[in-house]
Structure 1
Amino acid sequence: MLRYLLIALIFVSPLSFAELSQDELQQVLEPRIEGLKFLTKNGMLLDAIRTQNREGRSLDEIKKIDEEWKAGKSPLIKELQENKAGSFLKNIIIQQADVYNEAFLTDIQGANVAAYPPTSDYWQGDEEKFTAAFNGGEGKIFIGKVEMDESTKTNAVQISVPMEYNDETIGVLVIGVKVSVLEAEKLKGQ
C-alpha cells in the first residue's frame, strides 16, 4: 500500500494543483485554514499589529522602507524575524517545516510586522494576498494560486487570514503551505 502511495505522489504534478479551482483548494486546505483561524486569536500577534498601527507610518515612509528592504539594506529585515511575533512565526515554520515554507504578519496598510523567513518585499499592501484578505476592512480568508514562492524558492500556496480586534480588521496573517502538503491532503481525501 505504501509503495502505491509513493508512486502516486511521484506522478501528481505540482502543475495539477495549479489547475485546482479556489473551491477545490479551499477544500484540500480546510484543516490548515482552521489552524490559522486559531492563530488569529493570539494576543501577542494582535498586540504586535496594534502597536505598529499606532505608529501611524505614512504610505511614503512605508514605500521608502520597502525600497531599502528590497535592496537588502533595511535593519527591519532582521528585526522582524527576531521580535516576539517574528520569533513566534519562526518557531511555527521551523517546527512544521514539512508543511509551511513561510509566515508573515502585516499591519492595516500591508506593511510587515513580523516575517520568517524574510519576504522579498516589506510592503504587501499592493498585493492580492493582502488586499483580498483585508477586503476593504471587512476581512475574509483568501487562498492564492499554487506557484513558486519567490522568497523561499518553494512551490506553495499562500493562505491569508484577516487579523481582527474588536470586530475590526487590523492586519493580515499569511502562511505558505507547501505543495507536498496539498498532495498528501488530496490523496487522503480520495
Structure 2
Amino acid sequence: MLGRIIVASLVGFAALVAVQATVLAADAPHVAPMKEFAAKTVKGWTAEPVLVDAIKAQNAKTAGYDQAKIDALDKQWRAETSAAAKPLIDSVMGNALSKWLSGVKEQQGGLVTEIFVMDDKGLNVGQSDVTSDYWQGDEAKYQKTFAVGPDAVFVDDVEKDESTQMFQSQVSMTVVDPASGKPIGAITVGVNVDAL
C-alpha cells in the first residue's frame, strides 16, 4: 500500500513538473518576438505561389503513402545524409521551392538559420538546408501546427548550436491554401535569437 502511495505521489509530482516546464517555456522571453516575426514575416512567405503550389503538388503525390512508405523514405534520407550518393536529398534540395527558400534565408542577413516546408504528412517539400530527417510528422513542429489547425504557431526552446556558438530557436506555423483557407502543410524557420 505504501509503495502505491509513493508511486502515485511521484507520478503526480512528475506531472506537476511537466506542466510547470510547459508554462515556463511558453513564458520564455524569446517566444513573443518569435511569434511577432512569424506574424509579420513568415506568414507572408506562406502565401507565395511557389510555396503553396509545391505543397499542393506533393500532397497529391503522397496522398496514398502509408506509414511504412513514410518510414522507408525517412530511413533513406537519414542514410543519405552521410552517403556519397544522395538521390532523395538532391531531388528535394534541387527543386524550385528549396532554391527559393535558400534565397529567402539569404535575404534575412543572418537572422534566419534555416527554413523548411512540410506537406500534410509532415514530409519535407523544400528546404534551405539539409535536415537530419525527411519526416517531421512525429515532431512538435508538425504536431503543434498542421495537426492543430490553420492559425497554429509553435515556438520551440532556445538551443545553443555547438558548431556556431549561436543561440537559436524554431518557429513553426501551419500553411494554408489561400484559396480555401484549409491547412495544407507547415513551415519551420530557425532563428538566431540574438539577432531578433
**TM-score between the two structures when normalised by the length of structure 2:** 0.75
1:65 aligns with 73
Task: Indicate the SS of the match to 1:135.
Answer: coil
Q: Which amino acid aligns with 2:56?
A: R
Q: State the distance in 2 between where 1:88 and 1:140 align.
A: 24
Q: Over the residues paired in the alignment, what is the CA RMSD in angstroms?
A: 2.4
Unpaired stretches in structure 1, ≥5 consecutive residues: 1-19, 183-190
CA distance 1:150–1:97, change in 2 (3 Å)? farther
Task: Indicate the SS of the match to 1:108.
Answer: coil
- Range that drifts further, 94-103 or 155-164: 94-103
Task: Indicate the SS of the match to 1:104.
Answer: strand
1:105 aligns with 117
Contact 2:35 2:155 in 1 (8 A): no
Q: Deviations over 1:13-45 (max 9, x none)?
A: xxxxxxx74243232224421201111111110
The answer to whether residue 50 in structure 2 is matched with residue 41 in structure 1 is no
CA distance 1:149–1:83, change in 2 (3 Å)? farther
Task: Indicate the SS of the match to 1:174.
Answer: strand
Q: Which amino acid aligns with 2:171?
A: I
Contact 1:111 1:124 in 2 (8 A): yes
Task: Indicate the SS of the match to 2:100.
Answer: helix
The count of residues paired between Structure 1 and Structure 2 equals: 164
In the TM superposition, what is the alpha-carbon distance from 1:137 to its structure 2 partner?
A: 4.2
CA distance 1:138–1:163, change in 2 (3 Å)? closer
The answer to whether residue 193 in structure 2 is matched with residue 179 in structure 1 is yes
Q: Deviations over 1:45-89 (max 9, x none)?
A: 011001011112222212101001111155121221221110011
CA distance 1:115–1:68, change in 2 (3 Å)? same
Unpaired stretches in structure 2, ≥5 consecutive residues: 1-23
Larger Rg over CA atoms: 2
Task: Indicate the SS of the match to 1:78.
Answer: helix
1:9 aligns with none
1:187 aligns with none
**TM-score between the two structures when normalised by the length of structure 1:** 0.77
Task: Indicate the SS of the match to 2:130.
Answer: coil
Q: Which amino acid aligns with 2:167?
A: N
% identity of equivalent residues: 33
Q: State the distance in 1 between where 2:125 and 2:103 align.
A: 16
1:75 aligns with 87
Contact 2:145 2:172 in 1 (8 A): yes
5 Å matches for 1:16-27? 21-23=25-27, 24-27=29-32
2:3 aligns with none
CA distance 1:146–1:36, change in 2 (3 Å)? same
Contact 1:117 1:152 in 2 (8 A): no
Q: State the distance in 1 between where 2:125 and 2:163 align.
A: 17
Contact 1:101 1:154 in 2 (8 A): no
